[in-house]
A and B are shown apart, each in its own frame.
Chain A
Amino acid sequence: MLRFLAGLVGLGFVSALFIAFVMPREKVEPTAASIYHLPEKEVKFSFDGPFGMYDREQLQRGFQVYKEVCSACHSMKLVAFRDLEQIGFTKPEVKAIAKQWAVEVPSINPDTGEAATRKALPSDYFPSPYANETAARAANNNALPPDMSLLAKAREGGSHYIYSIVTGYQAQPADLLKRFPDAKTPTGLHYNPYFANLNIAMPPPLVADGQVTYADGKKATVDQMAQDVSAYLMWAAEPKLENRHRWGVVVLIYLLIATGLAYGAYRNIWRDKKH
């Protein structure tokens, strides 16, 4: 009886699926994005792979790019000035960076209790360029510049994706416009084949070599700046990557030895038992 009922239930599900299977499908027309979207570019970072480590000089250069270019629109709420010590800045340098930050930290006037601002301290998180989302959208043609704290982990492709976006701006291909006349990039947006829908609200952030004058004297080509800022954003998203890789090697060596011993113990105990 049970098997009979189960068979009926099975036939019910199978028939519903069969009907769904034979139903004709609406033809899906290709879109501009489905054809012209590109996978992220090949680029090599020092932290790639299981044993990769950050290049501190690159992170400092990347921080400089973030500070002088990105931070005008993009907040980084989860990173504090004190964290910059991890990428090789000294305590006094961090103090100076916090003090000179373009945006001050919201505070209150200690005498009147009224809203005020004060200079940032190493213990502060990076102050956001806009007071709130509405202000950010109002200043950016109704687009919201995403917070950059976790950007490198919040996008498929990570730092490679960020590098591709930053260096990926180009003129809209002529054959795209011929095939999809409606897909013309609207005014206020910018064509970028590495962006999911091809049209990104962010204007090209890195436009000319030497846009940033690197403190370490490295030549600031657009490609160099893009790599550096992508690396810096990876660090911002995953500051413990180096600890993780280092611990991983130690733990694996330990486990390999321990498991080898456990295997020996197992063979030894079973040596007179056929199985």
Chain B
Amino acid sequence: MSFPWAENYEPKHPLMKWMDAKLPLPRLVYNAVGAGYPVPRNLNYFWNFGVLAGVALTIQIVTGIVLAMHFASNSDMAFTSVEGIMRDVNGGWLLRYMHMNGASMFFIVVYIHIFRGLFYGSYKAPREMVWLLGVVIFLLMMATAFMGYVLPWGQMSFWGAQVITGFFSAIPILGDPIHTWLLGGFAPDNAALNRFFSLHYLLPFVIAGVIVLHIWALHIPGSGNPTGVDVKGPQDTVPFHPYYTAKDGFGVGVFMIVFAILLFFYPNYLGHPDNYIQANPLSTPAHIVPEWYFWPFYAILRAFTVNWFWIPAKLWGVLAMFSSILLLFFLPWLDNSPVRSANYRPAYRIAFWVLVVDVLILGWIGKSPAEEPYVRIGQVAAMYYFAHFLLIVPIIAMVEKTKPLPNSISESVLHGEAEEAAPIGVGSAH
């Protein structure tokens, strides 16, 4: 599970020796995120985001558990109970705004984490399983976030639930019965709210479980790195602790600063004003928009406006929206270029940055009303999205002339210099 030069856990205190013999939990931690896990020495700040996602999940679970103590999951009381939290529960406004904006922070860091993976080829052999589990986590996050947004039972909660559960009614023949069965009724109501609350409480723990698998699968080959070159020897790695615990400590600080600015000064900036109106099944909002982190997918859903190939437009949209995420499962085999890092793949690198811009455009379109020119822009952007993953990336992998790779990580870092080339007086050789 690790490189031969990994440091070995040696308990010194008799209690720790006893513990190690009975239940080697400290050893597990030591080997997972301690000095026993050798990590490439050249990771840049983009490698902070996995830990940040873990921090975000922890914040969500802790604030969520306390919020659940004050929340009433009943369609008559949910909205008022959330306002009770905001007004009368001690520190309730802080908990609620933390949970609301914590979800946004979670998605921000996870999106950066995913795009890091796309740029540096983290999905490629031997880390395919890490990627696959990551996509599972992403899907679970989306389900959790969607159901969480329904709980305050505001107008966007209700109408968002109406639109998203409506996807299932696009399934031919069985669509309507499935839709009714999932909701426990013909429209979102108390039954739907209650089951969403139950699942919203369950799924974060499922996510935590899959994260354990994600990290386990990562530790088999070890972490990737910006060059994409395999670790060749001890000179290429540093122990996770203290090197990356220290770097992650700084990263967590920056994350918390951004989170605090959002939470204390702009807590409703990423929300929608309509969700401060209690759900009303008789009054449809002028524009139904999901939370910002779903905008790109919402744009893909709405880009399909014509029946084509005997498939109705609505079904095209739903299929495309699910496919836009599910296709990520196949990415490790769609892109079979042996070079991982986009730093050495000039053509892929361009396609990658076009994709980044494309997803931002899709996000903007998902937020905008379904009228021209937005619809056409969205259609072009959605075309690129599918073309990128299903056509362009596989073709680039076949024809691209990649740049020469460095011989090793240490060579790329040291450029032939000695390790001790640190300024005089501060270096202490290992």
> Would B320 and A244 count as touching, CB distance under 8 A?
no
Cβ-neighbour of B246 out of A28, A237, A259, A265 (below 8 A):
A265
> Would B257 and A153 count as touching, CB distance under 8 A?
no
> Would B390 and A6 count as touching, CB distance under 8 A?
yes
6 closest A-B pairs by beta carbon, nearest first, are: A248-B264, A10-B390, A259-B253, A154-B276, A50-B265, A13-B386
Distance of A149 Cα from B154 Cα, bound (Å)? 14
Query: CB of A174 within 8 A of chain B?
Result: no
Task: Give the secondary structure class of A's interface.
Answer: helix
Query: CB of B372 within 8 A of chain A?
Result: yes
Query: Chain B: which residue is nearest A239 at the CB level?
Result: B87
> Would B422 and A16 count as touching, CB distance under 8 A?
no
In the bound complex, residues from chain B placing their C-beta under 8 Å from that of A7 are 390-391, 394
Distance of A42 Cα from B371 Cα, bound (Å)? 29
> Would A153 and B303 count as touching, CB distance under 8 A?
no
Query: CB of B350 within 8 A of chain A?
Result: no
Cβ-neighbour of B420 out of A28, A50, A237, A272 (below 8 A):
A272
> Would B390 and A262 count as touching, CB distance under 8 A?
no
B151–chain A nearest beta-carbon distance, Å: 17
> Would A274 and B413 count as touching, CB distance under 8 A?
yes
Q: What are 8 A-B residue pairs whose CB atoms fall within 8 Å in the complex?
A: A2-B334, A15-B308, A16-B308, A21-B379, A78-B87, A154-B274, A245-B264, A249-B264
Query: B252-275: which residues lie under 8 A (CB-CB) from chain A?
Result: 252-254, 256-257, 260-261, 263-268, 273-274
Cβ-neighbour of B380 out of A21, A25, A239, A244 (below 8 A):
A21
Distance of A156 Cα from B417 Cα, bound (Å)? 59
Query: CB of A3 within 8 A of chain B?
Result: yes
In the bound complex, residues from chain A placing their C-beta under 8 Å from that of B80 are 78
> Would A2 and B372 count as touching, CB distance under 8 A?
no
> Would B304 and A20 count as touching, CB distance under 8 A?
yes
Number of A-B contacts (CB under 8 A): 184
Query: CB of A247 within 8 A of chain B?
Result: yes
Distance of A154 Cα from B275 Cα, bound (Å)? 7
B297–chain A nearest beta-carbon distance, Å: 14
Given contacts A271-B422, A274-B419, contact A255 B391 (CB under 8 A): no
Query: CB of B426 within 8 A of chain A?
Result: yes
User: Contact mask A136-169 → B, CB, 8 Å, 1/0?
Assistant: 0000000000100110011110100000000000
In the bound complex, residues from chain B placing their C-beta under 8 Å from that of A272 are 419-420, 422, 426-430
B321–chain A nearest beta-carbon distance, Å: 11
B residues near A (Cβ < 8 Å) are 41-43, 80, 83, 86-87, 93-94, 97, 238, 242-243, 246-247, 249-250, 252-254, 256-257, 260-261, 263-268, 273-274, 276-277, 286, 303-306, 308-309, 311, 313, 316, 320, 323, 327, 330, 333-334, 336, 371-372, 375-376, 379-380, 382-383, 386-387, 389-391, 394, 413-414, 417, 419-422, 426-430
A124–chain B nearest beta-carbon distance, Å: 14
Query: CB of A178 within 8 A of chain B?
Result: no
Distance of A9 Cα from B260 Cα, bound (Å)? 43
Query: Chain A: which residue is nearest B261 at the CB level?
Result: A252
In the bound complex, residues from chain B placing their C-beta under 8 Å from that of A237 are 276
Query: A231-275: which residues lie under 8 A (CB-CB) from chain B?
Result: 237, 239-240, 243-245, 247-249, 251-252, 255-256, 258-259, 262-263, 265-266, 269-275
> Would A255 and B249 count as touching, CB distance under 8 A?
no
Query: CB of A12 within 8 A of chain B?
Result: yes
Interface size class of A (residues with CB under 8 A): 35 or more
Distance of A240 Cα from B376 Cα, bound (Å)? 43
> Would A244 and B334 count as touching, CB distance under 8 A?
no
A255–chain B nearest beta-carbon distance, Å: 5
> Would B306 and A20 count as touching, CB distance under 8 A?
yes
Query: CB of A18 within 8 A of chain B?
Result: yes
In the bound complex, residues from chain B placing their C-beta under 8 Å from that of A17 are 303-304, 379-380, 382-383, 386
In the bound complex, residues from chain B placing their C-beta under 8 Å from that of A245 are 264-265
> Would A9 and B390 count as touching, CB distance under 8 A?
yes
A82–chain B nearest beta-carbon distance, Å: 10
In the bound complex, residues from chain B placing their C-beta under 8 Å from that of A83 are 87
Query: Chain A: which residue is nearest B252 at the CB level?
Result: A262
> Would B330 and A23 count as touching, CB distance under 8 A?
no
Query: Chain A: which residue is nearest B313 at the CB level?
Result: A20
Query: CB of A11 within 8 A of chain B?
Result: yes
> Would A259 and B257 count as touching, CB distance under 8 A?
yes
> Would B260 and A20 count as touching, CB distance under 8 A?
no
In the bound complex, residues from chain B placing their C-beta under 8 Å from that of A9 are 323, 327, 386, 390
Distance of A274 Cα from B414 Cα, bound (Å)? 7
In the bound complex, residues from chain A placing their C-beta under 8 Å from that of B376 are 21
In the bound complex, residues from chain B placing their C-beta under 8 Å from that of A43 are none
Cβ-neighbour of A13 out of B257, B273, B286, B323 (below 8 A):
B323
Distance of A239 Cα from B374 Cα, bound (Å)? 38
> Would B260 and A6 count as touching, CB distance under 8 A?
no
Query: Chain A: which residue is nearest B286 at the CB level?
Result: A196
Query: Chain B: which residue is nearest A52 at the CB level?
Result: B265
